[in-house]
Structure 1
Amino acid sequence: MLKDKICVVTGGAQGIGRCIVETFASNDAKMVFACDMNAAVMAELESQYTNVRAVELNVCDRSSIANFVEKVKAEFGHIDVLVNNAGITRDNLIDKMTEDDWDLVSDVNLKGVFNMTQAIAPVMMECGAGSIISMSSVVGTDGNVGQSNYAATKGGVIAMTKGWSKEFARKGAKVRANCIAPGFIETPMTVDLPEKILDYMKKKTPLQRMGTPEDIAEGALFLASERSSFITGQTLKIDGGLVI
Structure 2
Amino acid sequence: MNELRVKQSGFRNGIAIVAGGSGGLGSAICQRLAAEGVDVAFTYNRNADRARAVAKLIEEHGSRALAIQTDLTDTAQVDRLLQRVNTEWSTPSTVIYAAGPQLYFKYISQLDPAIFKATMDQDIYGFYNLASASLPLLRQERGALVALSTPAIVRYTKKDILSIAPKAAIHSVVRGIAVEEGRFGIRANSVGIGLVGDAGLFETLTANGDIDEKYMQATYERVPLQRLGLANEIAEAVAFLASERASFITGQLLMVDGGLST
Displacement of 1:140:
2.3
Kept after mapping to 1: 8 A contact 2:13/2:92: no
RMSD value, Cα: 1.5
Secondary structure of the 2:145 match is strand
Please list, as runs of the form range in 1=range in 2, the aligned pairs for 1:36-185 lying within 5 A after superposition.
36-37=44-45, 38-50=47-59, 51-88=64-101, 89-125=103-139, 127-170=140-183, 173-185=184-196
Secondary structure of the 2:202 match is coil
Whole-Å separation in 1 of the counterparts to 2:188 and 2:43: 20
Gaps spanning 5+ residues in structure 2: where? 1-8
Displacement of 1:25:
0.8
Kept after mapping to 2: 8 A contact 1:181/1:238: yes
User: Share of identical aligned residues, percent?
Assistant: 25
TM-score (norm 1): 0.93
Query: In structure 2, do the counterparts of structure 1 residues 178 and 3 end up closer, same or farther at CA, with 3 Å as the change threshold?
Result: closer
Equivalent position to 1:204, from 218, 222, 242: 222
TM-score (norm 2): 0.87
What are the Cα deviations for residues 85-122 of structure 1, in whole angstroms up to 9, with x where unaligned?
11121332222211221112112221111010011111
State the partner residue of 2:200: 188
Q: Partner letter of residue 189 of structure 1?
A: L
Whole-Å separation in 2 of the counterparts to 1:49 and 1:85: 16
Deviates more, 1:42-51 or 1:220-229: 42-51
Secondary structure of the 1:54 match is strand
Displacement of 1:36:
1.3
What are the Cα deviations for residues 127-147 of structure 1, in whole angstroms up to 9, with x where unaligned?
140100011101222222223
Kept after mapping to 2: 8 A contact 1:109/1:153: yes
Equivalent position to 1:233, from 251, 254, 258: 251
What are the Cα deviations for residues 51-110 of structure 1, in whole angstroms up to 9, with x where unaligned?
222111121121111111112122233111111111121332222211221112112221
Secondary structure of the 1:209 match is coil
State the partner residue of 1:14: 23
State the partner residue of 1:33: 41
Gaps spanning 5+ residues in structure 1: where? none
Secondary structure of the 1:83 match is strand
Kept after mapping to 1: 8 A contact 2:30/2:58: no
Q: Partner letter of residue 219 of structure 1?
A: A
- Structure 1 stretches of 4+ with a deviation exceeding 3 A read none
Query: In structure 2, do the counterparts of structure 1 residues 183 and 14 end up closer, same or farther at CA, with 3 Å as the change threshold?
Result: same
State the partner residue of 2:3: none
The count of aligned residue pairs is: 240
Secondary structure of the 1:168 match is helix
Displacement of 1:3:
6.8
Kept after mapping to 2: 8 A contact 1:4/1:28: no
Kept after mapping to 2: 8 A contact 1:133/1:220: yes
Whole-Å separation in 1 of the counterparts to 2:34 and 2:213: 34
